[in-house]
């Protein structure tokens, strides 16, 4: 989508096509999964639920009395007392810190029975223990979640949402969050079972904070995942509540609603538009400036997604003040924040020159240069994109401003980066700069500047680069701008095998 957009206002060929970068240009990851992402599934191993709402006859010890076989027998038997004890023991096993026996419990075929217990409105304790146990099963692998869903858990949990007992409906919210977090298929299954209205009905001014946190987290999982994205009408239902939740003073609630917004904006422009229309952007900017990394991260992510959108959407982000907070983020000590901030800026820099002007006015160039000089490599790479996009779409004056801010030195230094793509983009950027310099009649000055900053030497070295495109781009710059002083070669010439006697036969002409 960004490509189309770029073509509209920048007819500059190959560079334009690569300007805006979606989050996933390569879907394969070699790295460890990111530590700063939101958690997909959570096991309930804490005791706080019990403390807040002690169920009758509950013992506080973690001691398990029955063996797995005994549990199976009791759960499948008809003695409600034993059923409760067995279910509680199962739940305790599933709460173990290490290696909870999820597989064994599934293999013993306990799930359908436990799902059945969910409907025992008369036995609240049993209902609760079963819900808790199932929550923890759902928190396992996809296999585990599937076993539970196939056991009929979805409708059972959804009906528990309207349980009169808050600790039960809260446990149901949690379980549903785990199911939704499994992926788009179950997420949509939940949505199709009409989970959203019942969930939203739980949100009220009097809902306790702890409960509200769970609801927010579950909502965020309902917004999460692509291929496909959640249905538009579901998103439209969730958004107004999300807008309220994101204003909440509780940090966890804000964080999870931020993540939800980041998922909703990580998509096509019409989805971004839904979010922009809520007027949430100023709040996101506020949260980007938060002192807490866990708040700042999703807010920045969401904003970064918004500016991949149309010019108008990007303008809305600028109007909300995104450019005021970015300098601080570009200078942040954490590499991932630097990187996301630079990525965000790169997409703003792909905009029309009016937006580039705002970028200059808001003082983004100095932190950009700093980032290119001493940022983490991941962030430097994004920074290079900022410069590349800027030089592609900027006016000559703007490009001059960029060069004046000192971008050239770190940019040329990065020609020794160990990343072919980065090198190629820098070489393309240099070509853009030379085009601008030619318009100003300043080619020679730029040549000298590049040489002074040891760039010429690096470009010459790149003529030996193994990557063909890099090598050719380097060669092209050398040949066009740095070849000898007085040996100007004319175009190569060629002959055809003409006859040298001067004669000709007449023919009829018609042009």
Partner 1 sequence: MELSDANLQTLTEYLKKTLDPDPAIRRPAEKFLESVEGSQNYPLLLLTLLEKSQENVIKVCASVTFKNYIKRNWRIVGIIVEDEPNKICESDRIAIKANIVPLMLSSPEQIQKQLSDAISIIGREDFPQKWPDLLTEMVNRFQSGDFHVINGVLRTAHSLFKRYRHEFKSNELWTEIKLVLDAFALPLTNLFKATIELCSTHANDASALKVLFSSLILIAKLFYSLNFQDLPEFFEDNMETWMTNFHSLLTLDNKLLQTDDEEEAGLLELLKSQICDNAALYAQKYDEEFQPYLPRFVTAIWNLLVTTGQEVKYDLLVSNAIQFLASVCERPHYKHLFEDQNTLTSICEKVIVPNMEFRAADEEAFEDNSEEYIRRDLEGSDIDTRRRAACDLVRGLCKFFEGPVTGIFSGYVNSMLQEYAKNPSVNWKHKDAAIYLVTSLASKAQTQKHGITQANELVNLTEFFVNHIQPDLKSATVNEFPVLKADGIKYIMIFRNQVPKEQLLMSIPLLINHLQAESIVVHTYAAHALERLFTMRGTNNTTLITAAEMAPFVEVLLTNLFKALTLPGSSENEYIMKAIMRSFSLLQESIIPYIPSVITQLTQKLLAVSKNPSKPHFNHYMFESICLSIRITCKANPEAVGSFEEALFLVFTEILQNDVQEFIPYVFQVMSLLLEMHKNEIPSSYMALFPHLLQPVLWERAGNIPPLVRLLQAYLERGASTIASAAADKIPGLLGVFQKLIASKANDHQGFYLLNSIIEHMPPESVDQYRKQIFILLFQRLQNSKTTKFIKSFLVFINLYCIRYGALALQEIFDSIQPKMFGMVLEKIIIPEIQKVSGQVEKKICAVGITKILTECPPMMDTEYTKLWIPLLQALIGLFELPEDDTIPDEEHFIDIEDTPGYQTAFSQLAFAGKKEHDPVGQMVNNPRIHLAQSLHKLSTACPGRVLSMLSTSLNAEALQYLQGYLQAASVSLL
Could you list the residues that contact partner 1 (CB under 8 A)?
A: 25-33, 335, 374, 376-377, 417-421, 424, 448, 451-454, 456-457, 461, 465-467, 469-470, 486-496, 498-504, 506-511
CA atoms within 13 A on the CB side of 290: 20
Smallest distance, partner 1 to C-beta of residue 291, A: 21
The angle formed by the CA atoms of residues 434, 440 and 443, to the nearest 5 degrees, is 40
C-alpha angle 90/94/96, rounded to 5°?
A: 120
Closest CA to 135 of 178, 103, 84: 178
Q: Which is nearer to partner 1, 376 or 438 (CB)?
A: 376
Report in angstroms how near the CB of residue 416 gets to partner 1 at its nearest.
Answer: 8
Q: Which is nearer to partner 1, 27 or 227 (CB)?
A: 27
Nearer to partner 1, 9 or 471 (CB): 471
- Rounded Cα distance, 2 and 22, in Å: 8
CB of 198 to partner 1, least distance (A): 39
Cα 281 from Cα 295, distance rounded (Å): 15
**Three-point CA angle 76, 79, 82, nearest 5°:** 80
Please enumerate, as own/partner, the contacts of 108-113 that have beta carbons within 8 Å and a separation of 24 or more.
Answer: 108/68, 108/71, 108/72, 109/72, 110/71, 110/72, 110/75, 110/76, 111/137, 111/147, 111/148, 111/151, 111/153, 112/151, 112/152, 113/75, 113/76
The smaller minimum CB distance to partner 1, of residues 212 and 368, is found at 368
Question: For residues 140 and 319, what is the distance between their CA atoms, to the nearest angstrom?
Answer: 43
As measured in angstroms, the least distance from the Cβ of 435 to partner 1 is 17
Shortest distance in whole angstroms from residue 383 CB to partner 1: 15
The answer to whether 123 and 134 are in contact (CB under 8 A) is: no
The residue (of 72 and 424) whose beta carbon lies closer to partner 1 is 424
**Least gap, CB of 368 to partner 1 (angstroms):** 16
DSSP 8-state symbol, 39: P
**Dist CA 208 CA 66 (whole Å):** 35
> Do 2 and 350 meet the contact criterion of CB atoms below 8 Å apart?
yes
**Helical axes 420-440 vs 455-462, angle rounded to 10°:** 130
Q: Which residue lies nearer to partner 1 by CB, 78 or 493?
A: 493
* CB closer to partner 1, 164 vs 492: 492
Tell me the C-alpha to C-alpha distance, in Å, between residue 161 and each of 136, 165, 166, 215, 454: 17, 9, 9, 11, 67
Taking the complex as a whole, how short is the minimal distance between the CB of residue 510 and partner 1, in angstroms? 7
User: How far is 448 from 446, CA to CA, in rounded Å?
Assistant: 5
- Answer for the pair 357, 349: CB distance below 8 angstroms, yes or no: no
Least Å distance between CB 503 and partner 1?
7
Residue length of the chain: 511
Judged by CB, which is closer to partner 1: 206, or 499?
Answer: 499
What CA–CA distance (Å, rounded) separates 165 from 169? 6
Kindly tell me which of 26 and 291 has the beta carbon lying closer to partner 1: 26
Q: How far is the CB of 31 from partner 1 (least distance, A)?
A: 6
- The least distance separating partner 1 from the CB of residue 374, rounded to whole angstroms, comes to 5
């Amino acid at each position: 989508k960004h490509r189309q957009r770029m073509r509209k206002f920048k007819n500059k060929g190959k560079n334009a096509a690569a300007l805006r970068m979606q989050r996933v240009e390569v879907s394969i990851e070699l790295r460890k999964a990111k530590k700063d992402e939101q958690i997909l599934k959570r096991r309930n191993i804490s005791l706080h639920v019990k403390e807040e709402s002690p169920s009758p006859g509950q013992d506080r010890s973690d001691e398990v009395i029955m063996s797995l076989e005994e549990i199976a027998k009791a759960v499948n038997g008809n003695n409600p007392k034993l059923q409760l004890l067995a279910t509680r023991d199962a739940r305790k096993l599933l709460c173990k810190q290490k290696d909870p026996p999820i597989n064994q419990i599934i293999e013993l075929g306990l799930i359908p029975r436990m799902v059945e217990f969910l409907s025992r409105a008369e036995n609240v304790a049993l209902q609760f223990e079963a819900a808790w146990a199932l929550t923890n099963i759902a928190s396992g692998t996809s296999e585990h979640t599937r076993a539970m869903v196939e056991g009929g858990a979805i409708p059972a949990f959804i009906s528990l949402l309207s349980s009169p007992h808050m600790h039960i409906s809260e446990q149901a919210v949690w379980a549903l969050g785990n199911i939704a977090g499994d992926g788009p298929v179950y997420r949509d299954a939940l949505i199709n079972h009409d989970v959203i209205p019942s969930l939203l009905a739980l949100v009220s001014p009097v809902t306790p904070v702890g409960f509200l946190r769970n609801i927010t987290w579950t909502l965020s999982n309902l917004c999460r995942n692509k291929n496909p994205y959640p249905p538009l009408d579901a998103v439209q239902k969730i958004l107004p509540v999300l807008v309220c939740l994101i204003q909440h003073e509780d940090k966890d609630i804000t964080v999870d609603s931020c993540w939800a917004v980041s998922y909703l904006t990580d998509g096509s422009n019409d989805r971004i538009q839904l979010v922009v229309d809520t007027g949430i952007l100023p709040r996101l900017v506020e949260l980007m400036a938060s002192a807490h990394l866990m708040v700042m991260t999703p807010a920045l992510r969401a904003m970064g997604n918004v500016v991949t959108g149309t010019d108008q959407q990007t303008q809305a982000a600028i109007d909300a003040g995104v450019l005021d907070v970015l300098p601080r983020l570009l200078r942040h000590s954490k590499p991932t924040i630097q990187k996301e901030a630079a990525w965000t800026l790169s997409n703003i820099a792909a905009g029309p020159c009016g937006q580039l002007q705002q970028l200059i006015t808001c003082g983004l160039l100095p932190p950009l240069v700093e980032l290119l000089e001493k940022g983490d490599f991941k962030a430097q790479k994004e920074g290079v994109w900022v410069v590349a996009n800027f030089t592609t779409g900027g006016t000559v004056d703007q490009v001059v401003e960029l060069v004046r801010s000192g971008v050239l030195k770190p940019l040329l230094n990065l020609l020794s980066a160990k990343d072919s793509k980065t090198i190629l983009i820098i070489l393309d950027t240099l070509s853009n700069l030379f085009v601008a310099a030619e318009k100003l009649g300043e080619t020679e000055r730029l040549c000298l500047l590049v040489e002074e900053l040891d760039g010429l030497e690096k470009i010459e070295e790149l003529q030996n680069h193994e990557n063909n495109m890099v090598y050719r781009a380097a060669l092209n710059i050398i040949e066009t701008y740095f070849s000898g002083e007085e040996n100007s070669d004319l175009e190569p010439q060629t002959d055809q095998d003409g006859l040298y006697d001067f004669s000709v036969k007449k023919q009829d002409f018609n042009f």
